Amino acid sequence: MNRSSMWEAVSGIIKRDLLLAMRRRSDAAMSVFFLVIVASLFPLGVGPEPAVLRTIGPGVLWVAALLACLLSLSRVFTADYVDGALEQMVLVPQPLAVLVAGKVFAHWLISGLPVVLLSPLLGLQFGLDGDPLGVLALSLLLGTPTLSMIGAIGAALVLGVRGSGLLVALLVLPLYVPVLIFGAGAVTGSMAGVGGEANLSLLGASLVLSLFLAPWATAAAIRIALE
């Protein structure tokens, strides 16, 4: 097995998942609509006070992004589990963990990247501007792939289980908490003038760690689910 064949397999999985997402646009857009609705309703409910909105803005936007990612986790492996595509992935010569990483990357492109791109616009509703807006987008760029990686483990563990949506939330939400704290803390630190570099570094370290460990853990969970 050479690198070219591995890359072809991974790129094929990414293209396939993106194509399926384009055919089911309503499912793919659900998490993005959820993010926009939640982020838009909070200023209406809290009131127009700029100081209050700036204070709660980083936490609200990060919680909304986290829940939007959680909402889309059920679509990562379920369709492939039902139609037998996961079994084919296990049988091919390429490492299952590498193929899983491709699927998670496709999931992030569909549900995570739009969150990153929309975050500056949503941040304006909370009075964020300048450096805090840039830190918000950067923190989400580092944090949302980590959320997808961690969420993929939970999604794989509950494959074929009834009520899997609630179970995956119970499994991954505790693991999401550090990412949420680091992400919101980076924006808050930038707003306070102390900088968000420390929290951004922790987000980067979490991303690297999840890239190395999560695909293998997810692959092991898929093998267990298929036995």
| Of 107-116, 174-183, 189-198, minimum mean pLDDT range | 189-198
Sequence letter at residue 227:
E
* Paired tokens of 94: 């390429």
| Of 27-31, 96-100, 125-129, 155-159, minimum mean pLDDT range | 27-31
Asked whether the beta carbons of 102 and 213 are under 8 A apart, the reply is: no
Number of domains in the chain: 1
| Of 24-28, 157-161, 203-207, minimum mean pLDDT range | 24-28
Sign of the torsion angle spanned by Cα atoms 32, 37, 40, 45: negative
Look up the domain containing 34 and give its range: 3-226
Asked whether the beta carbons of 164 and 203 are under 8 A apart, the reply is: no
pTM here is 0.88
pLDDT at 142: 93
pLDDT at 206: 93
